[in-house]
Amino acid sequence: MTKKQMYITNLIIHSLVIILGAIAIIMQLNMHTVVNQVSYGGWHTFRFFTNDGNIFCMIVSLINIIYILLYFIKKKDDYPKWLYLLNLMSSVNGLLIFFTVLLILWPTMGPSLFVGYIMVVLHVINPILVTISFLFTMHKHIKKKEGLLGMVPMALYGIPVLILILSKVWTDYLIPYPFLKVYDNPWWSSLLIISTMFLSCALVGILLSRLTKIFNLENANKKKLIISLTVLAFIILMIFILVLILNIMY
């Protein structure tokens, strides 16, 4: 794959992230639904990390599109290092959304989190798209310690939300997730889940920074690349089969 082909591919991917995500967010904003005393729609849309995280991904995708278009206009590759790091944060952010829903929220809130356009786009499709785009970008060297920047989106959301909850500005139904109900749950369980999420962001960020050596198509080891692509394709296929089954059942 040439650099031009890669830029075109990423242009398509980032455009899809923005278009699909914007439709899902707009649909949420126009919803007026209350489920188990939890309000969805209107300003309540922004209480949830899924929505805020996807908006972050959309902003990063927009910046990428600007630089990709500049590449075709100027015929010069001047992707800045900070944009590579933003893409890393966006990818970690997307993976955090997906695995939080899959491993933490699904067991407590049910499979409906993977059913319907909004849920499928914000919980599955966009997280996968931003991750694929990151892996198949011509990367400048990303250090292991820079992988820790994967915690930034979580911190931007989590710190203000925890302050609102601990100061009791947000109580009861305003608290977006069950594990954040620190006054109802044992304090150690909430601390354990929150700490695990931050640690996971750091570890995934470091892992992605290492994977860029395999997926960098300019200097890729073909055998490793083929194996990695096969595994990645299989995982994505299994995810979409699971989501399809859930949508058929529910």
Residue 111 has pLDDT above 80, yes or no: no
Which residues contact residue 58 at a Cβ distance below 8 angstroms, ignoring those fewer than 6 apart? 17, 18, 21, 22
Q: For the residues 151-156, what does the mean pLDDT come to?
A: 90
* Residue listed under structure tokens 């109580």: 171
Position 229 scores a pLDDT of 56
**What's the whole-number mean pLDDT along residues 68-96?**
86
Segment 146-175 shows an average pLDDT of 86
Residue type, 211: L
Task: State mean pLDDT over 98-117.
Answer: 73
**Position 109 pLDDT exceeds 60:** yes
Alpha-carbon span 229 to 235, nearest angstrom = 10
Residue 60 near residue 89, CB atoms below 8 Å? yes
- How far is residue 250's CA from residue 246's CA, in Å, rounded to a whole number? 6
- Per-range mean pLDDT, top range of 47-56, 95-104, 161-170, 176-185: 47-56
CB 85 within 8 A of CB 220: no
pLDDT at 188: 78
**Tokens matching residue 70:** 């500049």
DSSP for 14-44 reads: HHHHHHHHHHHHHHHHT--EEETTEEESGGG
Task: Dump pLDDT digits (tens) for 16-43.
Answer: 999 999 999 998 888 776 655 555 667 7
pTM of the model: 0.81
Could you tell me the pLDDT band of residue 54, with boundaries at 50, 70 and 90?
very high
Residue with tokens 């909850």: 165
What average pLDDT score do residues 66-72 get? 89
What are the structural domain ranges in the chain? 3-249
